[in-house]
Structure 1
Amino acid sequence: MNYTELEVWTEARKLTTVIYRLTTVFPSEERFGLVSQMRRSTISILSNIAEGCGRRTNKDTLHFLHMARGSLYELEAQCFVALDLGFMGNEGFNSARAQILLIKRLLSGFIKYFRNFQSADRGPNPKP
């Protein structure tokens, strides 16, 4: 499976760009705080989707997709904090949130797809 062709991965890649751009205007004292945390979260989403697709079993794939989903929820919470502190305006927040909600739907569908094959460990990532 080529993860770079997956809609969920391409949308996560777009989110990464959005977050990096939005955080460039955060206060400099947040460089090692909220900025770093948000950037790590968005990279984690992208990376865990890719790593999950590289795994050999559906169980392993699901593990990494769940990690990606956890990072997505973490990023969403961080966006709320940035909004509340005035580091992010409504327009930026709404842009990031819309992308987050889209990825939540796509990732949930992808997890459901792999979960359907998990019991017999057959399907997209069969054992050799």
Structure 2
Amino acid sequence: MRNFKKLDVWKEGRSLTKDIYLLTNSLPADEKFGLTSQIKRCVISIPSNIAEDAAKESQKDFARFLQISLGSCFELESHLILCLDLNIINKIDAIPCLEKTTRLQKKVYSFIKYVNAQA
């Protein structure tokens, strides 16, 4: 069993979740059950799956949950781009979150490669 609280990818996922929750406060009220809900679900999935996979015994299971986290990172990026396309979030507020998302994608992907190499 791994201590997920020591994993940098979990810490960064947690930080991104906080940033995204603050960003979604500015989304229109009519998006509460649409994009806002979807964005919150996928961002919370990132650190949640990292924490869940830390309890897995096999490297294969560990890598699988990391891949789910990575998928959620890309889903988040897509939603943020869509919000920019629709002009429902401020570009100045969204760009730092997009950059943080991209950095996290790279780190999770690298971690997956490392875990797979250990298998």
Shift of 1:45: 0.7
Letter in structure 2 aligned against 1:11: E
Letter in structure 2 aligned against 1:65: L
| Aligned-partner SS, 2:57 | coil
Q: Determine the structure 2 residue equivalent to 1:99.
A: 100
Q: Following the alignment from structure 1 to structure 2, what is the Cα–Cα distance between the partners of residues 97 and 7? A: 18
Q: Following the alignment from structure 1 to structure 2, what is the Cα–Cα distance between the partners of residues 55 and 91? A: 39
Q: Following the alignment from structure 1 to structure 2, what is the Cα–Cα distance between the partners of residues 88 and 27? A: 9
Q: Determine the structure 2 residue equivalent to 1:36.
A: 37
Mapping for residues 1-128 of structure 1, pairs under 5 Å: 1-118=2-119
Higher mean C-alpha displacement, 57-66 vs 83-92: 83-92
Shift of 1:81: 0.6
Instruction: Say which one has the larger Rg.
Output: 1
> RMSD of aligned C-alpha atoms?
0.8
Q: TM-score, normalised by structure 2?
A: 0.95
Query: CA deviation digits over 1:98-126, x for unaligned, max 9?
Result: 110110111011101111022xxxxxxxx
**Runs (4+) off by over 2 Å:** none
Percent identity over paired residues: 37
Q: TM-score, normalised by structure 1?
A: 0.89
Q: Following the alignment from structure 1 to structure 2, what is the Cα–Cα distance between the partners of residues 14 and 23? A: 14
For these two proteins, the number of residue pairs brought into alignment is 118
Q: Following the alignment from structure 2 to structure 1, what is the Cα–Cα distance between the partners of residues 62 and 76? A: 21
Letter in structure 2 aligned against 1:98: E
Q: Determine the structure 2 residue equivalent to 1:123.
A: none
Shift of 1:14: 0.8
Query: Which is helix-richer, 1 or 2?
Result: 2
| Aligned-partner SS, 2:26 | coil
